[in-house]
Structure 1
Amino acid sequence: MMTLQSPFTPPSAGAAAVPTTQSALRLSLNPVLDRRGTVDGAWWPHTRDADAELPVLISAVDRRLNRAVLRVGLYLDAWDHIPRRIPARGGQVRVGWFRSADPYLITLTIAGTAPITLLVIPPDTANGPAMAALTRAAADTAGIRPSDILHPAVPDEGMPGQDGSASWENEGGRVADLVPAAT
């Protein structure tokens, strides 16, 4: 997991994998960024104030990828104070907002490469689940829905598969018992 810190938090030797101070940027990126997963990483903002949170995110992603972020797309109802443009390295980053997008995702259009999609961990998420989501989103996420990264399913007892999918028939009914009951 690649973790970035805000320019306001000086890195220290032996720093934790994910910063825990209020001013630290909580961001994880898949080091490969192969675009095969559902998301390319995760971001855990401190607030829902897009005007305050987005400049730090954009600056960190610019530095990490050594390319300029050109545009940000986000879910309208998940944020407060959404600006139309954000000053950034060498110009302005345009911000688009949508109601048809996944509320847990933010898309960053990057100069010279494919856009990256980040899972947005709600600011009020408890530390343990948020840290687990930061870690999981930076790994292989192919075939995993964003909401499943945030809220992993508890497997059915005795049923194979993380989400109990092996216990469902093809046409929507639950298989009675995979193992016959003892008589």
Structure 2
Amino acid sequence: MTAVRAARDEVRLQLKPAAGGGYVDGAWWPRSRDGGVEFSELLAAVRDRVGEVERISYPLGDGWEIAHRKLVVEGRLVRLEGFHAMQADTLALIGTQQRRLILLVVAPGTARDAATAALRTAADPATTASGEDILAARGGPHARATGYPNPRFRAPRSGRGRHVPDLGDPGSPAPAVRPGR
């Protein structure tokens, strides 16, 4: 088990105004693939939306450096669970009240313009595209393609196609969410 104190640095995260529509509830652009450090910072930033997170699910094969299956953040135990059958480039955060948040993960080495565009697109309430489609449309790399998508990520049955809105200039900066706000 790894004990990590949550840092209060700016977290590159954008969320949809309310949970619900589409494959993802927003996007996160970590600075590295070190799960102990990056997950700790992320949890502080999503606390207002999900509450205290008790579990983080991530796709195996996405390159996360996970030393242990448990993480202690600010005195709270968080379980880390890797799955082969989970959509690439996503994280599922599950809170103590069973509130969940599905995030698109933009790879740490992604160019700023592509990462900013992916963050904005994933956080747009009109976006119904999968994380992989968002990254492909915005020029960002994705960790891997998986043949085992999670059933939660199926296309809508309404007959409509997946929608990736045009959000204008991908070079305009995306506002960051600071922990506790």
Question: What is the match of residue 132 of structure 2?
Answer: 147
Match of 1:49 among 18, 25, 34: 34
Aligned residue in 1 for 2:65: 80
The 1:138/1:45 distance shift into structure 2, 3 A limit, reads: same
Q: Determine the structure 2 residue equivalent to 1:68.
A: 52
Describe the superposition over 1:118-165 as per-residue Cα deviations: whole angstroms up to 9, x where unpaired: 0000111100010011111111255312111112189xxxxxx999xx
Shift of the 98–60 alpha-carbon distance from structure 1 to 2, 3 Å rule, reads: same
2:97 corresponds to which residue?
112
Does the CA-based 8 Å contact 1:68-1:89 persist in structure 2?
A: no
Change (3 A) 1:56 1:153: closer
| Code of the aligned partner of 2:12 | R
- Taking structure 1 as the reference length, what is the TM-score of the superposition? 0.66
Q: Which one has a bigger Cα radius of gyration?
A: 1
The two structures, once aligned, show a CA RMSD in angstroms of 2.5
Distance in structure 2 (CA, Å) of the matches to 1:153 and 1:133: 6
TM-score (norm 2): 0.67
Identity %: 32
CA deviation after TM superposition for structure 1 residue 112, in Å: 2.0
2:57 partner letter: G
Higher RCO (C-alpha under 8 Å, 6+ residues apart): 2
The alpha carbon displacement at 1:84 in A equals 1.0
Q: Structure 2: which 5+ runs fail to align?
A: 1-5, 140-160, 164-181
Q: How many corresponding residue pairs?
A: 136
SS in structure 2 opposite 1:137?
A: helix
